[in-house]
Amino acid sequence: MFAALIWSESRFRIQANSQRGAFGLMQMMPRTADRYEIENLLDPKENIEAGASYISRLQSKFRDTAANDNELVKFTLAAYNAGEGRIYDCIKLARAQGIDTGTWESLCTVLPQMSQDSILLVEDVRHGKFKGKETVAYVKAVLNQYDIFNGTQPRYKVQPTDTVLVMIEETEDVERILLSPDSLSRIDSGDEKARNQEEEHDDQPGCHISGKHRR
């Protein structure tokens, strides 16, 4: 799962950096690096150490909320993408609406509300609005990649609205990768024609994972 998360964040590009200031394999923010006393986020070892420490922190935060270990993985991935505070806001909102908060699928029913201006008027929401649908797509993408790495059929069928794009910036080089099971298998096989076809999808709605809300 750790490898799937790194692939989704940077496609294993050590020098990856985002428009919002996230760096390295796990796209960590400098303020998180300071928390874990990391000096160089472009150093693979330090970047992964910081990411692993942050993931461990998130797991401990959501362990009492998640119904089981499988659900804990989903909560952790969501918090890694959106930020733990925003996921806590979703949990409080779901509880206020009488929705079960032990499973990620149940929590997904309130995530679309988090992008609405009206959410700013809700007392329990303390971390502002965010694009909850992008976080839903992110969790699906990482879990699908985990399945692909394990040689199994991806558990989620990727819809156009679930398309997740990874933005990787290195000087003037910007690479867009369509994260879906079919495109991954074609791109990784070195099919240049398939790569060109994926570039035609740039205008589709998606989540630029490296443009993080969190960390």
- Name which residue leads in pLDDT, 82 or 20: 82
pLDDT tens, position by position, 108-154: 999 998 888 888 778 778 788 889 899 999 999 999 999 999 999 99
Is the domain of 71 the same as that of 173? yes
93 falls within a domain: yes
Mean pLDDT rounded to a whole number for the chain: 78
**Domain tally, the chain:** 2
Is the domain of 59 the same as that of 96? no
Q: Please report the pLDDT score of residue 126 as a whole number.
A: 79
Is the domain of 149 the same as that of 99? yes
Is the domain of 72 the same as that of 59? no
pLDDT tens, position by position, 49-88: 999 999 999 999 999 999 999 999 999 999 999 999 999 9
Is the domain of 13 the same as that of 104? no
Is the domain of 46 the same as that of 103? no
Please give the residue range of the domain that contains residue 1.
1-63
For residues 85-103, average pLDDT: 93
DSSP per position, 125-189: --S----HHHHHHHHHHHHHHHHHHTTS--SSPPPGGG-EEEEEEETTEEEEEE-SHHHHHHHHT
Angle between helix 181-188 and helix 192-199 axes, rounded to 10 deg:
140
- Name which residue leads in pLDDT, 151 or 206: 151
